[in-house]
Amino acid sequence: MSNSSWQFQTDQSLVESHGLKLDEFTKIVEGLGREPNLTELGIFSAMWNEHCSYKSSKFWLKKLPTTGERVVQGPGENAGVIDIDDGDVAVFKMESHNHPSFIEPYQGAATGVGGILRDVFTMGARPVANLNALRFGDPGHPKTKHLLSGVVGGIGGYGNCIGIPTVGGEVNFHSSYNGNILVNAMTVGIAKKDKIFYSAAAGIGNPVVYVGSKTGRDGIHGATMASAEFDEDSEDKKPTVQVGDPFTEKLLLEACLELMKEEAIIAIQDMGAAGLTSSSIEMASKGNVGIEINLSKVPMRAKNMSAYELMLSESQERMLMVLDPTKEEMARNIFKKWDLEFEVIGKVTDTKKLVLTMDNKEEASIPINILVEDAPEYQREYVINEPSPLVELDHVELDNNNIFEDLLKMISHPNLCSRKWIWEQYDHMVMTDTVVRPGSDAAVVRVHDTNKGIAISTDCSPTYCKHNSFEGGKHAVVETWRNIIASGALPIAITDCMNFGNPEKPEIMGQFVECIRGMGEACSKLNYPVISGNVSFYNETNGEGIYPTPAIGGVGLIKDLSNTMTISFKKEGSYICVIGKSNNHLGNSQYLSIIKDKEIGNTPSIDLEEELKNGKFVLSCIEQNKFEAVHDIADGGLLIALAEMSIYGKKGINLDINKSSLTEYLFGEDQSRYLVEISKDNFEEFLLEAEKNKVFVEKIGLTQADQFEIKNIGKIKVEELIQAHESWFKKFTN
């Protein structure tokens, strides 16, 4: 049937209010052979929106490398899984909770943490670390302070209460996020390789069981809202934001992990975005079966809830399971012990349909394939945005006499200053396995009762992605890779959270395509596959989109924790060396942005061969105990990295650098570089190894007591650097 010959009975405005376009509604009618009722319309709205179906991104996501020798489970499950030896696996994923956090920052951020935690323990893993990647608008914007305080409070409040350490993350400010902040949450868990749980329903007649909290009316249309742009009425969307309860989540975590030991679970799925709708349909689809649910049996927090509300509610702390029927009573007793709901609400069928009844009335009957396999998949029109031109430094006045003044201004800027005010609100030591706390290149967490650890880092430079999306995509991947290397770990795999504007705009879709292309090239070269992730489109307000922000979360393995590295200078009288070539790239740099108030120039290019060579060399040296400290050189360039090593180690430096273009050398953001502290005893052997591996090394100075000194330029006390570095957040939040 065609749109022209079919006379719709359903009001067009109702269709549009569900985020569906008319041609999509036509496709639904054709698939069903009839028009959907309201409950069915809501189900299609949830499953076919961007947040759940990835209809604009699926085509391109398939081009990313997702396999590797250590990959146990790639994309497609609740979280990805990698092998970390000795029968252990790390389970991790990153997801967005952007729109809810802008509308209601505390609950939006809190439930973002709760949701990603469930994704991980659903797989059978005990969560051991939380991280985040946050983006806020200009600090001068009237909403920024409120949003920052609320988001940080929500992350800390939920993570601290449930007892999972928040060990790292990143926070940046830019005016492109004034109307649409980003809150990306990441969780890592540890499990046994032979005890991983999956979501594919199986066993005709097996019970479908609801566990956790009761269902209320909070969060209805949350997934649909997450796939829509904001406008001046965004405040009215507060009812679509879920409310979290970390204490119940803790009970749910422990109950699920206890039940998992009993081999009673055939399939398990978190009720996240789109709640009972997505969880039931995903389980049925992956198992190639049908599911029948009696909605009258769903535990309800509110009276007189309709089938529509029950299916679309995004009430938190809930799971859906398929159980071994012989172990149903035992499972019930476990959840009773933990004071949680446990209700058999349906069964697995051979119909390959989702069938819903309530009060003995059929509320929905939809073939699973229409909801999943037949969901729209678009190859959106896109245009490749030309990279910004190289900056003409002739038009940028540089003065070597202002270096210390510039340094103080940069390290006290909100994008480069200490995040101590933030991470001090997070409990990063609970569980007692945190080895490297926030503030270093990567967090390091011990695998409990072992001498090995995992290193974790999140990163992205949106300005790089804006001005050259291909190189920016590469950079986001490579920055986490370098951070993990610098911590002493072997990088294994990444998760991503792709935050972009409206994909229906060719220029935005072009940013996405080019970021994907850059990410894929970097992942392939570095043997660093993508094993999980999330796409968040429509991050716009009144037509103004955010900068492209493909946030990356990387995970690596430290086989012996005695090899762990941090950025802090350790001793006086050590040599300071730069590994990797410096070509004075100032374009699109923090120096130009902060000191010159110019966002100009192209993103620094990355030579992946050089990146791989330098990284392997650094990791080899760390494993041979050659270094005292390691830090990758990133935003702000060499001098900012040196200042951070001095600040965290409370040690000074004496630099002896003979460069005609000193400002460019000190603040340039060339890639593939590391700063290392090395004792004089190890130096000659280190140089020989570097020469043998064809790695460029430059000795630039010595560590010393408390003076941060550059020969022929001047000096400053380290304490003054510390005060400047830690001042901004204190002033801003008071």
| Residues involved in catalysis | 51, 97
Return the structure tokens found at 17.
């209010």
Phi and psi at 504, nearest 5°, equal -80, -10
Give the rounded distance of the alpha carbon of 190 from its chain centre: 18
| The 166-173 sheet, strands edge to edge | 71-73, 80-83, 88-96, 182-192, 126-136, 166-173
The one-letter amino acid code at 663 reads: T
Strand pairing report for 126-136 and 166-173: parallel
- In this structure, the number of other CB atoms found within 10 A of the CB of residue 235 comes to 10
Q: How far apart are CA 94 and CA 552, in angstroms?
A: 8
Q: Is 304 left (phi over 0), alpha (psi -120 to 50) or beta?
A: left
Give the rounded distance of the alpha carbon of 68 from its chain centre: 21
- In this structure, the number of other CB atoms found within 10 A of the CB of residue 630 comes to 27
Q: How far apart are CA 461 and CA 416, in angstroms?
A: 12
Contact 187, 121 (CB under 8 A): no
Q: How far apart are CA 458 and CA 533, in angstroms?
A: 13
Give me the residue label for tokens 């730069």: 578
What is 494-537 written as a DSSP string?
EEEEEE-S-TTSHHHHHHHHHHHHHHHHHHHHHT--EEEEEEE-
Contact 276, 211 (CB under 8 A): no
Residue 306 burial class via C-beta count within 10 angstroms: exposed 0-12, middle 13-18, buried 19 and up: middle
Contact 256, 347 (CB under 8 A): no
Q: Rg of the chain's alpha carbons, rounded to an integer?
A: 26
* Count of all residues that appear for the chain in the document: 734
The one-letter amino acid code at 601 reads: G
What is 226-280 written as a DSSP string?
TTS-B-TTGGGGGGGS----HHHHHHHHHHHHHHHTTT-EEEEEE--TTHHHHHH
3 state DSSP class of 321: strand
The one-letter amino acid code at 525 reads: K
Give ∠ CA 76-78-80 in degrees, rounded to 5: 70
Return the structure tokens found at 439.
């503030």
Q: How far apart are CA 487 and CA 615, in angstroms?
A: 11
Q: How far apart are CA 214 and CA 258, in angstroms?
A: 21
Closest CA to 228 of 383, 323, 98, 140: 98
